[in-house]
Amino acid sequence: GTPIICAFGSCVRDMLSFIPRRVASRGWATSPSLLPRCLSTSPELCTLTTTSPTTLTLTLNRPPVNSLSLEMAAAVTAKIKEAESTPGATCLIVESHSPKVFCAGLDITEMHEPSSPRLTDFWSAIQDLFLALYTTPLTTVTSIRGHAPAGGCLLCLSCDYRVMTSGGSIGLNEARLGIAAPYWLADLFARTIGPREAEVGLGLGKMYSPQEALEIGLVDELSEDVSKRCVEVAEEWSKVPHRGRSLAKAMTRRALAEELVRRKQEDIEWFEGMVEDEAVQRGIGEYLAALSSKKK
């Protein structure tokens, strides 16, 4: 068969997209089973720093491209929970250590010849990450520098406000790898950019330039100094009473989150069936072989 071609070339090594793990039916509480292993990881896969009295910054720090492994997803989820418990914090900025890649999506090695327990835990961790970021009462602002395909786009879509530089690209390009985004991510994509654009974008695995993303509402604004602009946005949002803003956010996001909580096992089984398909495994193997040959 024809090897799968990476949409961005050599700068994006592991791409795909999805999200979080076992979530309680009330409050979307994260399962504690993954937290010890991610908190003990050294060096840290992501960091949480104080930007202002009301704003924290979560920095993705898994070189080279912040791909979402099971441990990475669990680590980000843990940092979100830590931010929520920080006294006085009302805003969270999500950024990358890299100026070229925000997040390249799922770690594709998690899906290559996987063991069933590991694959189940991996997708559950992705589900939990999505639920934690999508439903956090904190205002979330994404600083997008470089590429954000698939899972990277998922992280951006989960946030309240998205600021991107004029370089890079963003989108849900799973179709190019022979798979599909989960229903809940496709629904969020359609809610954000409109049903028709989402249908075309998902079907083609389209990656949007920053200007295109701005025009369709996939990002909220472009800035050459995204770090500074995200701090300004966080300060603007922090002027709104936190309780009122968080209640409004919960009302608009509850339905999608609660549906995923109800259908978590069904979604896990769908993902496992898709990934374990022979044609998908063959394509992933060819893709990894192509990446390996580029390194030589």
β-strand 148-149 against 139-144: which pairing, if any? unpaired
* Mean pLDDT along residues 217-222: 98
Active-site option among 106, 133, 154, 155: 106
pLDDT of residue 9: 28
DSSP result, 20-73? ---B-TTTTPBPGGGHHHHHT-SS-SEEEEESSSSEEEEEE--TTT--B-HHHH
Is residue 250's pLDDT more than 60? yes
* Mean pLDDT along residues 195-224: 98
* pLDDT greater at residue 40 or residue 275: 275
Backbone φ and ψ of 176, nearest 5°: -70, -15
Is residue 17's pLDDT more than 60? no
174 catalytic? Reply is: yes
pLDDT of residue 291: 80
Segment 170-199, tens digit of pLDDT: 999 999 989 999 999 999 999 999 999 999
Active-site option among 71, 95, 174, 197: 174
Is residue 110's pLDDT more than 60? yes
Tell me the Cα Rg of the chain. 18
Is residue 104's pLDDT more than 50? yes
Q: Which of 28-32, 77-81, 198-202 has the lowest mean pLDDT?
A: 28-32
151 catalytic? Reply is: yes
Integer CA distances (angstroms), 21 to 41, 65, 123, 206, 259, in order? 18, 22, 7, 27, 14
Q: For residue 23, name the pLDDT band (cuts at 50, 70, 90).
A: very low
Average pLDDT over the chain reads 87
- CA angle, residues 208, 213, 215, in degrees to nearest 5: 130
Tokens linked to 205: 């695995």
Could you tell me which of 182, 181, 203, 199 has the C-alpha nearest to residue 190? 199
Alpha helices (H) in 181-241, listed in sequence order = 183-193, 195-204, 210-216, 226-238
* pLDDT greater at residue 109 or residue 18: 109
Active-site option among 68, 146, 173, 256: 173
Is residue 33's pLDDT more than 50? no
Segment 56-95, tens digit of pLDDT: 999 999 999 999 999 999 999 999 999 999 999 999 999 9
Active-site option among 105, 151, 168, 205: 151
Q: Which of 6-10, 25-29, 182-186, 213-217 has the lowest mean pLDDT?
A: 6-10
Tokens linked to 42: 């050294």
Token pair 């374990």 is found at 276
Q: For residue 115, name the pLDDT band (cuts at 50, 70, 90).
A: confident
Q: For residue 290, name the pLDDT band (cuts at 50, 70, 90).
A: confident
